[in-house]
Amino acid sequence: MLNRKTLGAHSALALLSLAVGHANASTTISPKQLAANELRADKAAERTLAKMTQEEKLAYIGGIGGWDVKPLTQYGVPQIHGADGGAGIRYTSEGNDPGVVYPSGPNLAATFNPQRAIDFGRALGYDTATGGYQFVTGPGMNLYRMPWSGRAFEYLSGEDPFLGASLAPAVVNGIQQRGVWAEAKHYAGNDQETNRFILDQAMPERVLRELTLPAFESSVKNSTVAMMMCSFQKVNGEYACESKHLIADILKKEWRYKGLVQSDYNAVVHGLPAAQAGTDLDMMGGQMNSTVLKPYLDSGELDMATIDDKVRRILKNIYLYKFDKIDPQTTHDMNSAASNKVALNIAREGIVLLKNQNDVLPLDKAKVKRIAVVGNLAKYAPPTGFGSAHVDATHYISELSGLQQMAPNAKVEFLDSLSLDPAASQWTTTDSKGNTVKGMKTEFFTNANWSGDPSATRIDSHVDMDWSTDDIPSNGDTANTSIRWTGQVTPTISGEQVFKVRADGAVRVWVDGKKIIDNGDGENITNKSIPPTIPESGKITLEAGKTYDVKLEYSRRDGYLSTMGGLVGVQMAWASLAAPQDLSQYDAVVVAVGNSSEYEGEGFDHSFDLPEYQNELIQNIAKVNPRTLVAMHGGTALKMSDWIDQVPAALHAFYPGQNGGQALAEILFGKVNPSGKLPISIERNIEDNPLYADFPNFDNTRTLKDLSYKNDLTMLGYRGYDKTGTKPLFAFGHGLSYTQFTYNNISVTPGVAVGNTPIKVSFDLTNSGQRAGAEVAELYVGQQHPKVERAVKELKGYKKVFLRPGETRRVTIELNDRSLAYFDEKSKQWVVDADSFDISLGAASDDIRLKGRLVNPFRQELSTTTSNPLPRSALKSTKVSQSHDNTGGVFEQTESENESSGNSEYENAAY
């Protein structure tokens, strides 16, 4: 779809084929430079600290504005500006456009490629610096537990702690190499949004250490992350930002964290325990300041050394990055070719091909002449989630546009009749002269219940009203306003029709005299949180050619947002759920379904079911056209079981970023061979989720106050499927390719573990198919006779390898002592028992190809301070190399190579 905000695919391809080295608008800092700066930073921080008064110190540990650290102008310390948005810079100063919209956290996780994580970090760091900011509030790295989670789309760990531990420091290193701070979030356990301000999560210590914390631990130990954001909810009875165990004991003492801990916004509820626990910067809450803390200093309950440590940490990081010396960049190069290329490459590797029955994909350009595209998600900017990570794409390639550009000789048609678009829905009404005209009669009332005569009347061509931008008749009391729309619809297809309304208030819809939508009082569901504007849908059976009356009544409510993917206003659309018979004439039907910022985001959890009766739409289309291809969107698993057996191909695109339309089209037509692997398990039914008994439903009504994690060690994700023997619809690590890979000749060296000597698991990986492509080989470890409860197997290594047809490579994946360890609650150390360990190697958690064995001859205890969740080679893959150019080591094949191989690879021979 090309409009003023769309980057058409031809111009996009031209942009992305440029020589894309970032200009010198962004400082780069190597780890060696940071080490050299450290002594200066220590001394400078101490000098400034010595000059500050007690009042200045207490004032300094409270943030300013939305995201900033206060200036100390009298001491030459500038205000430190933060940029919101872990998947792109959500806004910029001086009214400039936001930054590039990158693929979501699950897309990055699905790449199983630390190189992509480094590239993402460097690009996001560049956007941060060039936008004039000193830090960005990301990356997010919490675990995925249940498909309810509203913020799962932000997080890069998927359901596995090792995956998060390997990708998180790579992103952080990439960001900080650009000379800006990264901020790891949300520390810790923010893996659902249900009642996030009051929920108390009962998390056993082993769950914390083995599942929840490794990504954060790795970010501290393997990337020296500058900032850590503590989260809202309670962990074992204490708010996370007030937890001495989490912050003072584990983060700062055991891991020796040198950065600063910033609260999530308003996450400090009580100033004293937060200060004592180790939170260093209180954002917006106003609890860590002189008014609250000085009485405790005076009484001796709080010592000044605790406050000094907070100020010292903030100052040291400012001096370490020389923010006191370097003027911030103001070039605002927010849509650079290099950043666009990074976004495209992540999408290419982060879209997962779930099903490809009878090799219906890739589509053949020579044979496919007509393609139908269904679903509003394909028409405009690729979707993303709601909330602080939402970025509005100012430039993008829609999925419709991507298909049109990839198949220029085919007729690619978007079917408005099957898609819920307020701007395309057709209505009729009668004007003042009695003529039938297009649109709806609109009546405005200066009260909340449509009483009396309307204050104004007009005809709207569509029901698509936005209080923040439109000229709307009102007396100014918009909270005491109601509107009524009346008109008619005339379906062109007989069968069920779906009506959808999205509004910041109460709505009722009648069709043919029947009420089909009623959202009650219309108040927002999240109370103190940022309020989403969630649509309501209803359906009714109508006949083609007949005209039916439609009435919409809307009464506005306060408290909704027009930003972050929200809406203040009202929209209504309608479409057919029944498929026209002429749909059978198309060579392929691409159906875009799933969630978006309308249904998924920060502050609320969501349903497992597809919205808008999309499951029925897919079923109806598949009955008419057996070449139906489904692209699912969202940050989580969604229900697929009621239609997956009826379609030959399906992909999980997650939220693929502003160039996701191009990436999806390249995969569908085989220019890119899919290599993404699921970072989550997809259940057939929600009751199959191994943790369903512990969290049977999301609750945005503030009644759920306690949540148990007692079973997570063996029941989270693929661990639970292994334990129960239940087969998921699609397993963790699953992802198809257009070629085949075979595994042979495994060896484990040494076969007997000796201390922290690297254990090398080697094997032959062969591309036994006809196309070039990349395979993710996954290595799992399981203890044969555990003394404590352990999962059957756990991911402890992986490697992504690109191979030409017929090529074989000897691949080695390393393990270390932590790969075999569990956390012992008595000794408070990591422990490796004397035992034998099963080594499982395969293409997915349920597709093991090779097995080996490893013996640990004696018990080992490993320090929580010095042990590392990453083996040596995995740690190395998180580092930004000195030769790492601004494209992330990317190169382009020639078109002839692309066509001959059936693949468009863009990475060096080995990942």
pLDDT one-digit tens code per residue, 585-604: 999 999 999 999 999 999 99
Cα(778)–Cα(763) distance, integer angstroms: 12
Cα(454)–Cα(131) distance, integer angstroms: 47
> How much of the chain exceeds pLDDT 70, in percent?
92
Beta carbons of 506 and 449 less than 8 angstroms apart: no
Q: Do 455 and 368 share a structural domain?
A: no
Which pLDDT belongs to residue 328? 63
pLDDT in tens, 397-418: 999 999 999 999 999 999 999 9
**Does 549 have pLDDT greater than 90?**
yes
For residue 201, the cross-strand partners are 235, 707
Which pLDDT belongs to residue 614? 98
Q: Do 465 and 566 share a structural domain?
A: yes
Q: Do 309 and 178 share a structural domain?
A: yes
Establish if 693 belongs to a structural domain: yes
Which pLDDT belongs to residue 699? 85
Token pair, residue 910, equals: 């080995």
pLDDT in tens, 464-510: 999 988 888 877 677 788 999 999 999 999 999 999 999 999 999 99
Q: How confident is the model at residue 331 (pLDDT cuts 50, 70, 90)?
A: confident
Query: Rounded mean pLDDT of 85-107?
Result: 85
Residue 552, domain extent = 428-489+494-576
Q: Do 283 and 150 share a structural domain?
A: yes
Q: Among 670, 691, 722, which residue terminates a domain?
A: 722
Q: Do 744 and 717 share a structural domain?
A: no
Find the helix or strand (DSSP H, E) in which 508 lies.
strand 505-511
Over the chain, what is the mean pLDDT? 91
**Does 93 have pLDDT greater than 70?**
no
Query: Rounded mean pLDDT of 530-542?
Result: 95
Establish if 908 belongs to a structural domain: no
- E-strand ranges in 333-446 read 352-356, 370-374, 411-414, 428-430, 436-438, 440-445
User: Position 435: which residue type?
Assistant: N
Q: Do 752 and 637 share a structural domain?
A: no
Q: Angle, to 10 degrees, between the axis of helix 114-130 and the axis of helix 161-176? A: 40
Domain total of the chain: 4
Which pLDDT belongs to residue 470? 87
List the one residue out of 206, 217, 279 whose CA is nearest residue 864: 217
pLDDT in tens, 175-217: 999 999 999 999 999 999 999 999 999 999 999 999 999 999 9
- Give DSSP secondary structure letters for 476-537: S-GGG-EEEEEEEE--SS-EEEEEEEEESEEEEEEETTEEEEE-TT---TTTTSPPP---EE
- Placement of tokens 């942009």 in the chain: 15
Measured in whole angstroms, the distance separating CA 846 from the mean position of its chain's CA atoms is 25
For residue 835, the cross-strand partners are 856
Window from 83-97, 238-252, 263-277, 658-672 with minimum mean pLDDT: 83-97
Establish if 905 belongs to a structural domain: no
Establish if 534 belongs to a structural domain: yes
Q: Among 694, 722, 750, which residue terminates a domain?
A: 722
Query: Rounded mean pLDDT of 664-682?
Result: 98
Query: Rounded mean pLDDT of 205-232?
Result: 97
Query: Rounded mean pLDDT of 434-455?
Result: 94
Query: Rounded mean pLDDT of 851-877?
Result: 96
Q: Among 531, 550, 576, which residue terminates a domain?
A: 576
The CATH number of the domain holding residue 461 is 2.60.120.260
List the one residue out of 497, 501, 510, 487 whose CA is nearest residue 438: 487
Which pLDDT belongs to residue 95? 62
The CATH number of the domain holding residue 846 is 2.60.40.10
pLDDT in tens, 57-75: 999 999 998 789 999 999 9
Establish if 555 belongs to a structural domain: yes
**Does 301 have pLDDT greater than 50?**
yes
Q: Do 237 and 379 share a structural domain?
A: no
Q: Do 634 and 718 share a structural domain?
A: yes
Judged by DSSP in three states, 837 sits in strand
The CATH number of the domain holding residue 634 is 3.40.50.1700
The CATH number of the domain holding residue 87 is 3.20.20.300
Burial 218-251 (b: 16+ CB within 10 A, else e): bbbbbbbbbbbbbbbbbbbebbbbbbeebbbbbb
Q: How confident is the model at residue 339 (pLDDT cuts 50, 70, 90)?
A: very high
**Does 123 have pLDDT greater than 60?**
yes
Do strands 370-374 and 588-594 pair parallel, antiparallel, or not at all (unpaired)?
Answer: parallel
Q: Do 597 and 556 share a structural domain?
A: no
User: Position 460: which residue type?
Assistant: D
Cα(640)–Cα(751) distance, integer angstroms: 43
Cα(262)–Cα(185) distance, integer angstroms: 10
Query: Rounded mean pLDDT of 650-665?
Result: 98
Q: Give the C-alpha distances (Å, rounded to integers) separating 260 from 45, 61, 277, 313, 321.
A: 13, 11, 13, 6, 14
The pair phi, psi for residue 776, each rounded to 5°, is -100, 110
**Does 902 have pLDDT greater than 70?**
no
User: Position 726: which residue type?
Assistant: T
Establish if 899 belongs to a structural domain: no
Cα(574)–Cα(372) distance, integer angstroms: 19
Which pLDDT belongs to residue 525? 80
**Does 896 have pLDDT greater than 50?**
no
Cα(240)–Cα(245) distance, integer angstroms: 9
Q: Do 815 and 669 share a structural domain?
A: no
Measured in whole angstroms, the distance separating CA 355 from the mean position of its chain's CA atoms is 23
Establish if 16 belongs to a structural domain: no
pLDDT greater at residue 565 or residue 899: 565
**Does 445 have pLDDT greater than 80?**
yes
Query: Rounded mean pLDDT of 128-140?
Result: 94
The DSSP letter of residue 859 is -
pLDDT in tens, 367-386: 999 999 999 999 999 999 99
pLDDT greater at residue 783 or residue 94: 783
Find the helix or strand (DSSP H, E) in which 516 lies.
strand 514-518
List the one residue out of 379, 471, 896 whose CA is nearest residue 661: 379
* pTM exceeds cut of 0.85: yes
Measured in whole angstroms, the distance separating CA 836 from the mean position of its chain's CA atoms is 38
Q: Do 343 and 309 share a structural domain?
A: no
Query: Could you count the other beta carbons within 10 Å of the beta carbon of residue 181?
Result: 29
Establish if 745 belongs to a structural domain: yes
Q: What is the CA radius of gyration of the chain?
A: 28
Q: Is 870 left (phi over 0), alpha (psi -120 to 50) or beta?
A: beta
Cα(60)–Cα(47) distance, integer angstroms: 16
Q: Do 513 and 443 share a structural domain?
A: yes
Query: Rounded mean pLDDT of 161-188?
Result: 97
Which pLDDT belongs to residue 527? 63
Cα(21)–Cα(887) distance, integer angstroms: 6
Which pLDDT belongs to residue 363? 98
Cα(217)–Cα(212) distance, integer angstroms: 10
Measured in whole angstroms, the distance separating CA 241 from the mean position of its chain's CA atoms is 23
